[in-house]
Structure 1
């Protein structure tokens, strides 16, 4: 499925329903505490790029950087958390994961 631009709830729902693997859908990788806290949308600006990892929109990443929430600048996160923008080497992706059986709250 190709989503050209997220311009409606229906298209955002379609994006979220893209199955990335046997166990994961795109919606599983769009969650962001920063986006939720500040009420900023966190979905790709260029969703027609192949989806490979967790994602931060440029506006969410910039806000996280400005507020000191452990986000690098947008330029440093291109081809990383902001995977729909290439860096000087091209496209890439980064994800942060938690393995529940190893996570222990202190």
Structure 2
């Protein structure tokens, strides 16, 4: 939980980043970790948490100065200790998959990771990718709507969401090259 509470915004402005409802924050965060983050860690190794839980006070400062969505829009997202307008709980974290960085830096093909996550983590409630380090927001939610969105040029916008033709089925061709590279690298380390 310590990693999830760390906030550059909170540190910079001296605002405590502590849940008002710790039980709700821990319940939502546990589901995020167990159902989404731990499977990524088990498959690909170390992940870095860039941003996760935000108190209402921290998020409010971020709205005007750091491109955060409004508090109400972040309930059951980055604000884990508030339920959304429909009464559902949820949690979001912005993460970086360390082992993916060499492939992303070499190819710029962030979609490889996006499609793998879409195909293998059916309980995710949406993924949003950012240009720096192919970092992405990943959300767990009691009432999930899976989607892939990108702020990475030139393909800013929806990669997929319910109703789009490419939503269902396997997207293995998109991440095949990356997984082969990762497997080869792993075997070369073992054989040294």
TM-score range, shorter chain: 0.5 to 0.7
Structure having the larger proportion of residues in helix: 2
Give the alignment's Cα RMSD to 1 decimal. Answer: 1.9
The change in CA–CA distance for 1:98 and 1:47 in structure 2 (over 3 A counts) is same
Alignment of 1:1-106 (within 5 A): 26-49=1-24, 50-52=27-29, 53=32, 54-67=52-65, 69-89=66-86, 90-103=88-101
Structure 1 unaligned segments of length 5 or more: list them.
1-25
The change in CA–CA distance for 1:51 and 1:92 in structure 2 (over 3 A counts) is closer
- State the 1:100 CA deviation: 2.8
Paired residue for 1:9? none
SS at match of 1:71: coil
Is the Cα–Cα contact under 8 Å of residues 28 and 90 in structure 2 kept in the other structure?
no
TM-score normalized with structure 1 length:
0.67
Structure 2 unaligned segments of length 5 or more: list them.
33-51, 106-131, 134-192
Structure having the larger proportion of residues in strand: 2
Is the Cα–Cα contact under 8 Å of residues 72 and 84 in structure 2 kept in the other structure?
yes
